[in-house]
Amino acid sequence: QVQLQESGPGLVKPSETLSLTCAVSGYSISIGYYWGWIRQPPGKGLEWIGSIYHSGSTYYNPSLKSRVTVSVDTSKNQFSLKLSSVTAADTAVYYCARQRGGFGEFSYWGQGTLVTVSS
C-alpha cells in the first residue's frame, strides 16, 4: 500500500522560505508516476502547486511558479517543496500526492501538514 507522509516546520516567518518533505513508502519513486503538492487554506478549497517526475522533470502552477521549487531524492524515496518569500496568504494545509502520469488524477494523498506563516 502506497503511503505518503509530509514533514516540516509548522510555523514560518513572513518573507522566509517554507520547506516541506514528502516521504513515500510502499512504492519506489524511481519506478515512475508523477508526485505533486497541493495546498488548502483553512476553510477554503484546493490549489495545485506543482509536480515532479522521478527524472526531475517539473511543472508548476504559473500563479506560484516564481516562488516554487519541487525536487526529488530517489535515494531517500522522497520529494520536497520549497516556497520562498511567504506571506500570510501561504498559510494552508499542504498535501503531497501521487499523480497518475504527467496529466493525471491524484490517487494517493498524504495526511497533510498545516503550515502557518506568522511572525
Under the rule (CB under 8 A), what is the footprint of another protein? Answer: 45-48, 59, 61-63, 95, 99-100, 103-107, 109-112
Q: Least distance to another protein from the beta carbon of 104, Å?
A: 6
User: Look-up: residue for cell 508523477?
Assistant: 34
Cβ-based nearer residue to another protein, 18 or 37:
37
Nearer to another protein, 75 or 103 (CB): 103
Beta bridge partners of 67: none
Look at residues 2, 1, 98, 110 and name the one whose alpha carbon lies nearest to residue 53. Answer: 98
As measured in angstroms, the least distance from the Cβ of 13 to another protein is 26
Q: How far is the CB of 9 from another protein (least distance, A)?
A: 20
Q: How far is the CB of 3 from another protein (least distance, A)?
A: 12
Nearest C-alpha neighbor of 25 from the set 6, 50, 52? 6
Three-state DSSP class for 29?
Answer: helix
First to last CA, the chain: 39
Residue type, 118: S
Nearest CB to another protein, comparing residues 5 and 74: 5
Nearest to another protein of 53, 106 (CB atom): 106
